[in-house]
């Protein structure tokens, strides 16, 4: 008895000493020592053809579980990311982020009116050995529109694009009437509602993946609820996923038509939600990539493994012009202009965010959409509503006079994360300092509450953001149409509507003219109407082991492609 008591005591002392010792080291946190063995190995740049002798295994972390692998039902980034690596549609985003034919043997033939696309399907197999046919596409797309499936992204991605999709989603036409038809085993004929310039980029999106009819039907409700009940036709196969668990892996799919290109044999995933833990797993060599955020991003700003990438999500202030049936002070364009120009965005991204984000003086993000000869859409319009205190104050004065007031109190609605709160404090300080007579109140709520308040238009100024669903400026521009689903701020400008609608209407087949129209609309929205005030374009910072090569980051749909990835110099 006494002896065991002693053992307990000793072990406790050990535990305690660990803890106390750690206290002393508090100021120099966990990380400053790089594991030099790991790092030195891969730093010399080698760009020759990869040597595939090492274990081609990649170890990754995900921030959330897989809700489903059913391509008709996926709505989240984890699902789309995995589908992009396990499955393949008519098109796939290549290493330059351009959608190129994948299961389509070549570019489709397009009818003169731009409405009918005819695809030839290449010889490809599902992971069970059966052939991928044109019928698999027809089945999958119709399934996504079938009300029984209750797909969210099906109607969202197909309405207005595929013939009859809108009518089907409104319940006036049966889903079997969708504009897609397998002419024979290898020929798919797609009929569009109207000419859609970005249609081919949509063909790389998860919702448009084919499904093996026989397999899906046989699995019934159990389809894609774990790794046994799903088929792949892409570079990798999903394994060891129980449907709700925190780990799974991708293994090379030998049945993939382009399997010769795929070098990785295995990708191991674990869901880790705590960023500090992810970094710890990274520094001990358990994981090969760690996304950084908040304080950790600052701490690793000078790490040689750090990779900064520009994301395609843009954040902005929404100015609500009508709240509870009454006009708000923000219905005055001068007040909107004053706020849009009244805070320093550069300091915000450098000091407050400090996570790789960049100042946005625009709505359509940089490095997202390009003309045929590779010119960024951003080159067309340049910067708008740039930070300028004098102009802001002049507009503020004018606006207050028009309203007949000397002071105003406005609410900023934002998120409840640490970062969001820090940002809100910054906005309050900047705006109250620069605009005399303005009082800002802050309302910080969880995401779901913010969505509710947005839907009910119950806010003054909202710090919101948007990420693209397809590779065209229209995915951002359609938000502020008078009846746009995300408008929720009573912004309405007939000229804007006309310009944006023309880009998918009469100008749809004229690439230059539709870009010009959308550029003009963007100018109208931001620089004349100040309907929204762009703040920043999100950047990401992550630590990536130098021996990980060839991973492609995408600007929409799945986040990454591992088809071309390999390990070298580990």
Partner 1 sequence: MAKYIVKRVFYMFITLFLIATATFFLMKTLPGSPISSASKLNPQQLAVVEAKYGLDQPLPVQYGKYMLNLVQGDLGNSYQFKGADVTDLIISRLGPSFILGAQGLILGVAIGIILGMIAALKQNTIWDYGSTFIAIIGISIPSFVFATFLQYWLAIKWELLPVALWDDGWKSSIMPSIALAMGPLATAARFIRTEMIEVLSSDYITLAKSKGASSFEVAFKHAFRNALIPLVTVLGPLAAGLLTGSLVIENIFAIPGIGEQFVKAIMVSDFSVIMGTTLFFSVFLIFVILVVDILYGIIDPRIRLSGGNS
Question: With the C-alpha atoms ordered 103, 109, 113, 114, is the resulting torsion angle positive or negative?
Answer: positive
Task: Single out the segment in contact with partner 1 by CB under 8 A; choices: 15-23, 111-119, 254-262, 556-564.
Answer: 15-23
Q: Is 284 in the site for partner 1 (CB under 8 A)?
A: yes
Residues 170-199 that bind partner 1 (CB under 8 A): 170-171
Q: How long, in residues, is the chain?
A: 570
Residues 118-157 that bind partner 1 (CB under 8 A): 147-148, 150-153, 155-156
CB of 464 to partner 1, least distance (A): 11
Give the residue, chosen from 15, 183, 218, 386, that forms a contact with partner 1 under the rule CB under 8 A.
15
- Is residue 267 within 8 A of residue 236, CB to CB? The reply is yes
Q: Is 5 in the site for partner 1 (CB under 8 A)?
A: yes
Q: Is 10 in the site for partner 1 (CB under 8 A)?
A: no
- Is residue 359 within 8 A of residue 346, CB to CB? The reply is yes
Token pair for 171:
């319940």
Token pair for 114:
């731009």
CB of 194 to partner 1, least distance (A): 18
CB of 314 to partner 1, least distance (A): 17
CB of 469 to partner 1, least distance (A): 8
Q: Is 75 in the site for partner 1 (CB under 8 A)?
A: yes
DSSP 365: P
Output 259 or 451, the one with its CB closest to partner 1.
451
Count the Cβ atoms, other than its own, within 10 Å of residue 222: 12
- The burial of 418, by beta-carbon neighbours within 10 Å (0-12 exposed, 13-18 middle, 19 or more buried), is given as exposed
Nearest Cα to 414, choosing from 403, 401, 425?
425
Q: Is 454 in the site for partner 1 (CB under 8 A)?
A: yes
Q: Is 244 in the site for partner 1 (CB under 8 A)?
A: yes
Q: Is 18 in the site for partner 1 (CB under 8 A)?
A: yes
Task: Single out the segment in contact with partner 1 by CB under 8 A; choices: 122-130, 166-174, 255-263, 545-553.
Answer: 166-174
C-alpha–C-alpha distance, residues 52 and 537, integer Å: 37
| Angle, in degrees to the nearest 10, between helices 494-504 and 511-523 | 160
- Is residue 499 within 8 A of residue 535, CB to CB? The reply is no
Output 10 or 51, the one with its CB closest to partner 1.
10
User: Please, how many CA atoms are within 13 Å of residue 318, restricted to the half-sphere of its CB?
Assistant: 27
- For strands 57-62 and 266-271, give the pairing: parallel
Give the residue, chosen from 34, 245, 437, 505, that forms a contact with partner 1 under the rule CB under 8 A.
245
- Is residue 409 within 8 A of residue 441, CB to CB? The reply is yes
CB of 264 to partner 1, least distance (A): 20
Token pair for 5:
């008591």
CB of 33 to partner 1, least distance (A): 9
- Can you say how many angstroms the Cα of residue 276 is from the centroid of all Cα atoms in its chain? 23
Task: Single out the segment in contact with partner 1 by CB under 8 A; choices: 17-25, 40-48, 135-143, 388-396.
Answer: 17-25
Q: Is 458 in the site for partner 1 (CB under 8 A)?
A: no
Q: Is 43 in the site for partner 1 (CB under 8 A)?
A: no
Give the residue, chosen from 273, 327, 405, 495, that forms a contact with partner 1 under the rule CB under 8 A.
273
| Angle, in degrees to the nearest 10, between helices 389-403 and 333-341 | 150
Give residues in contact with partner 1 (CB under 8 A): 5, 8-9, 12, 15-16, 18-19, 21-23, 30, 65, 67-68, 70, 73, 75-76, 147-148, 150-153, 155-156, 159, 169-171, 221-225, 242-247, 270-274, 276-277, 280-281, 283-284, 286, 446-449, 451-452, 454-455, 485-486
């Amino acid at each position: 008895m006494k002896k065991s008591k002693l053992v307990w005591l000793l072990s406790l002392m050990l535990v305690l000493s660990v803890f106390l010792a750690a206290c002393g080291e508090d100021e120099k946190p966990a990380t400053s020592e790089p594991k030099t063995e790991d790092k030195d190995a891969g730093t010399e740049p080698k760009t020759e053809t990869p040597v595939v002798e090492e274990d081609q295994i990649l170890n990754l972390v995900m921030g959330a579980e897989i809700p489903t692998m059913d391509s008709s039902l996926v709505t989240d980034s984890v699902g789309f990311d995995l589908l992009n690596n396990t499955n393949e549609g008519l098109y796939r985003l290549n290493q330059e982020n351009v959608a190129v034919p994948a299961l389509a043997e070549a570019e489709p033939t397009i009818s003169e009116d731009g409405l009918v696309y005819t695809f030839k399907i290449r010889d490809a197999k599902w992971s069970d050995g059966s052939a991928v046919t044109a019928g698999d596409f027809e089945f999958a797309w119709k399934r996504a529109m079938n009300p029984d499936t209750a797909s969210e992204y099906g109607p969202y991605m197909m309405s207005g694009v595929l013939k009859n999709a809108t009518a089907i989603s409104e319940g006036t036409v049966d889903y079997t009437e969708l504009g897609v038809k397998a002419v024979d085993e290898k020929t798919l004929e797609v009929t569009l509602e109207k000419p859609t310039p970005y249609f081919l980029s949509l063909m790389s999106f998860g919702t448009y993946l084919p499904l093996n009819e026989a397999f899906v039907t046989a699995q019934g409700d159990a389809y894609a609820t774990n790794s046994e009940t799903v088929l792949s036709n892409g570079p990798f196969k999903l394994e060891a996923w129980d449907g709700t668990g925190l780990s799974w892996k991708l293994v090379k799919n030998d049945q993939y038509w382009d399997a010769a290109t795929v070098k990785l044999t295995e990708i191991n995933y674990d869901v880790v939600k705590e960023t500090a833990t992810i970094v710890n797993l990274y520094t001990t060599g358990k994981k090969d990539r760690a996304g950084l955020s908040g304080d950790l991003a600052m701490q690793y700003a000078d790490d040689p493994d750090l990779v900064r990438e520009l994301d395609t999500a843009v954040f902005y202030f929404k100015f609500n012009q009508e709240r509870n049936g009454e006009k708000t002070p923000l219905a005055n364009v001068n007040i909107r202009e004053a706020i849009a120009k009244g805070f320093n965005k550069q300091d915000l991204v450098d000091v407050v965010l400090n996570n790789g984000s960049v100042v946005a003086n625009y709505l359509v993000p940089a490095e997202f959409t390009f003309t045929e000869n590779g010119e960024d859409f951003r080159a067309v319009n340049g910067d708008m509503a740039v930070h300028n205190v004098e102009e802001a104050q002049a507009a503020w004065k004018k606006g207050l006079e028009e309203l007949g007031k000397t002071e105003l109190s406005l609410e900023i609605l934002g998120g409840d994360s640490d970062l969001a709160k820090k940002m809100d404090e910054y906005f309050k300080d900047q705006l109250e300092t620069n605009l005399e007579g303005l009082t800002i109140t802050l309302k910080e709520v969880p995401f779901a509450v913010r969505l509710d308040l947005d839907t009910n238009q119950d806010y003054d100024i909202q710090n919101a953001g948007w990420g693209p669903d397809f590779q065209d400026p229209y995915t951002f521009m359609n938000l502020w149409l008078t009846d746009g689903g995300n408008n929720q701020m009573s912004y309405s400008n007939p000229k804007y509507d006309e310009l944006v609608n023309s880009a998918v209407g009469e100008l749809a087949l004229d690439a230059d003219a539709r870009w010009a129209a959308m550029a003009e609309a963007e100018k109208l929205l931001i620089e004349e109407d100040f309907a929204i005030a762009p703040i920043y374009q999100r950047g990401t910072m992550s630590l990536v082991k130098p021996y990980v090569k060839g991973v492609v980051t995408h600007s929409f749909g799945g986040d990454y492609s591992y088809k071309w990835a390999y390990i070298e110099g580990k």
